[in-house]
Amino acid sequence: METLAPTPEEQFQARIDADIRIEPKDWMPEAYRKTLIRQISQHAHSELVGMLPEGNWITRAPSLKRKSILLAKVQDEAGHGLYLYSAAETLGTSREQMLADLHSGKAKYSSIFNYPTLSWADMGCVGWLVDGAAILNQVPLCRTSYGPYARAMVRVCKEESFHQRQGFEIMQTLCEGAPAQKEMAQEALNRWWWPTLMMFGPKDSESPNTEQSMKWRIKRFTNDELRQKFVDMMVPQAEFLGLTVPDEKVKWNEERQAYDFGEVNWEEFWAVVKGNGLCNHERLQARVQAHEEGAWVREAALAHAGKRKARETVAA
Amino acid sequence: MNNSEWPLWEVFIRSKQGLDHKHVGSLHAADAAMAVQNARDVYTRRLEGVSIWVVESKHIHASNPDEAAEFFDPAADKVYRHPTFYDVPDSIKHM
């Protein structure tokens, strides 16, 4: 029998299996390209929208030190969005198209940012819990199969650990403060715990894309694996702070060497994904407004660059 | 898409004196001066560089990855270009 030459798909999978990174101009299946554009742009949008709940507290930070830190963190997030948009652009989509999809509601971003930041302790929880969860998601992405995405994630991860530490420090300061401050910390944890667990996405049994993404080594761990890791990491940290995780079912399981925990409210998860969270409307509106009101700046900069180039050409 | 999208620039950074500029990523900017300034804000917030180069992406020409095997083939069978190809007696020093 004649052996058939491997198809492009088979060659592609063989490279993936050998852990050879895929680069922008390499052949790739259309579905791989599409999956990556969706995932990377969604990730970029999350960084962009993620600036909004924290932006709320820049002018209200309790000290100049906290304000400087928060500004630096929000600036990092803009940078992370940019690294990721650039990575997605190498796949043939445009910045304008991605932003248009975000603004029309076609593209998603992490649902966590559709929850409000009501107290200063929320800045602690966003850093400690939300960025903590983000890091768990992102660290394996440093080894994802698409080169530009992996390289962007290396840079993001380096910067993200400061975000988590500053969040933990806010929580620690509150927990070591007056009873009212500790209460504020506990109240924020109560609100952020479950939404953070939702950040890892639907249960494996209800996540249709996971299998293919694992095969292509875009994802390295499943949603449930990462969620479990997160709980195992965070419960002792909450205990250290003297805070209680708002889940009665949290209990160390000696046999599994992991914490048991309760079921996420999936109804709430899907409601927020579908646009019915507390802040979906507000976040998107803020984004669209910023984009539209900035249009003249983008146009003016381009016109200015054009005029200057024309002057240089005449002079030369 | 309208024509208001700023062109794409590739960014190269020298992390310290004595080292090469290395590609770090890309960004959009209206002109070169803005590209350098944006590159500073995006890629050197933590003292990652002492010098920045930017070049408009459209000016970069690249080898074709589909032809990589043939293209780089001439170097594949010339092991004698490497010092390890040659046997040097143990008693010979400084070589």
User: Mind listing the pLDDT tens digit for each residue in A39-50?
Assistant: 999 999 999 999
Longest dimension (CA), chain B: 73
Whole-number Å distance between alpha carbons of A170 and A8: 52
Question: Is the Cβ of A292 closer than 8 Å to some Cβ of chain B?
Answer: no
Cβ distance of B28 and A304 shorter than 8 Å? no
Cβ distance of B42 and A82 shorter than 8 Å? yes
Instruction: Find chain A residues with C-beta within 8 A of B46's C-beta.
Output: 159
Mutate to test the interface with A, among B2, B23, B28 (most CBs of A within 10 A): B28
- Tell me phi and psi for residue A3, to 5 degrees: -85, 130
Confidence of residue B3 (pLDDT cuts 50, 70, 90): low
Compute the nearest-CA separation of B51 from chain A (Å).
Answer: 18
Cβ distance of B8 and A23 shorter than 8 Å? no
Helices (H), ranges, A112-265: 120-125, 131-138, 147-175, 179-198, 210-215, 223-241
Per DSSP, the three-state class of B24 is strand
The residue with tokens 């889940």 is A247
Please give the structure tokens belonging to residue A238. Answer: 């909450």
Compute the nearest-CA separation of A79 from chain B (Å).
Answer: 5
How high is the pLDDT of residue A84? 97
Average pLDDT of chain B is 92
Confidence of residue A208 (pLDDT cuts 50, 70, 90): confident
pLDDT, tens digit (0-9, with 9 covering 90-100), for A110-160: 999 999 999 999 999 999 999 999 999 999 999 999 999 999 999 999 999
How high is the pLDDT of residue A283? 96
| Closest CA in chain B for residue A159 | B46
What ipTM does the predicted assembly reach?
0.86
Number of domains into which chain B is organized:
1
- Tell me phi and psi for residue A306, to 5 degrees: -65, -45
Cβ distance of A26 and B65 shorter than 8 Å? yes
Instruction: With respect to residue B90, please indicate whether it lies within any of the assigned structural domains.
Output: no
DSSP A71-124: HHHHHHHHHHHHHHHHHHHTTT--HHHHHHHHHHT-S---GGGGS---SHHHHH
Confidence of residue A2 (pLDDT cuts 50, 70, 90): low
Instruction: Find chain B residues with C-beta within 8 A of A94's C-beta.
Output: 1, 5
Please give the structure tokens belonging to residue A55. Answer: 């932006």
3-state helix, strand, coil in chain B (%, to 5): 35, 20, 45
| Closest CA in chain B for residue A147 | B25
Instruction: Find chain B residues with C-beta within 8 A of A95's C-beta.
Output: 5, 28
Instruction: With respect to residue B95, please indicate whether it lies within any of the assigned structural domains.
Output: no
Sorted by sequence, the CB contacts under 8 Å of residue B17 that are 6+ apart come out as B50
How high is the pLDDT of residue A316? 75
Q: Which of A105-109, B6-10, B74-78 has the lowest mean pLDDT?
A: B74-78
Instruction: With respect to residue B94, please indicate whether it lies within any of the assigned structural domains.
Output: no
How many interface pairs between A and B have CB atoms less than 8 angstroms apart? 55
Cβ atoms < 10 Å from Cβ of A101: 18
How high is the pLDDT of residue A210? 87
pLDDT, tens digit (0-9, with 9 covering 90-100), for A261-304: 999 999 999 999 999 999 999 999 999 999 999 999 999 999 99
Sorted by sequence, the CB contacts under 8 Å of residue A283 that are 6+ apart come out as A49, A52, A113, A114
Per DSSP, the three-state class of B10 is strand
Instruction: With respect to residue B38, please indicate whether it lies within any of the assigned structural domains.
Output: yes
Instruction: With respect to residue B31, please indicate whether it lies within any of the assigned structural domains.
Output: yes
Mutate to test the interface with A, among B1, B6, B24, B26 (most CBs of A within 10 A): B26
| Closest CA in chain A for residue B67 | A26
Whole-number Å distance between alpha carbons of A45 and A84: 9
Q: How far is CA A85 from the centre of its chain?
A: 13
pLDDT, tens digit (0-9, with 9 covering 90-100), for A236-270: 999 999 999 999 999 999 999 999 999 999 999 99
How high is the pLDDT of residue B1? 39
Whole-number Å distance between alpha carbons of A251 and A259: 5
In this predicted structure, the answer to whether residue A188 has a pLDDT above a threshold of 60 is yes
How high is the pLDDT of residue A186? 98
Specify the pTM: 0.92
Sign of CA dihedral B65, B67, B69, B74: negative
Q: Residue B23: which of B9, B38, B6 has the closest Cα?
A: B9
Cβ distance of A305 and B27 shorter than 8 Å? no
Strand order in the sheet with B51-56: B21-28, B8-14, B51-56
**Which CA distances in Å does A266 have to A145, A198, A269?**
30, 8, 5
The CATH number assigned to the domain holding B12 equals 3.10.20.520
Contact call for residues A203 and A263 (beta carbons, < 8 A): no
Instruction: With respect to residue B65, please indicate whether it lies within any of the assigned structural domains.
Output: yes
What is the residue range of B40's domain? 3-85
Task: Classify residue A278 by its DSSP letter.
Answer: S
Task: Classify residue B54 by its DSSP letter.
Answer: E
Q: Which of A8-17, A279-288, B64-73 has the lowest mean pLDDT?
A: B64-73
Question: Is the Cβ of A146 closer than 8 Å to some Cβ of chain B?
Answer: no
Q: Which of A25, A72, A95 sits opposite B62 (nearest CB)?
A: A25
Instruction: With respect to residue B50, please indicate whether it lies within any of the assigned structural domains.
Output: yes
Rounded (5°) CA angle A10-A16-A21: 130
Share of chain A above pLDDT 70, in %: 99
As to burial, measured by CB atoms within 10 angstroms (0-12 exposed, 13-18 middle, 19+ buried), residue A272 is buried
Cβ distance of B45 and A76 shorter than 8 Å? yes
How high is the pLDDT of residue A1? 59
Cβ distance of A86 and B26 shorter than 8 Å? yes
Whole-number Å distance between alpha carbons of A150 and A162: 20
Mutate to test the interface with A, among B24, B27, B56, B60 (most CBs of A within 10 A): B27
Question: Is the Cβ of A239 closer than 8 Å to some Cβ of chain B?
Answer: no
| Closest CA in chain A for residue B43 | A79
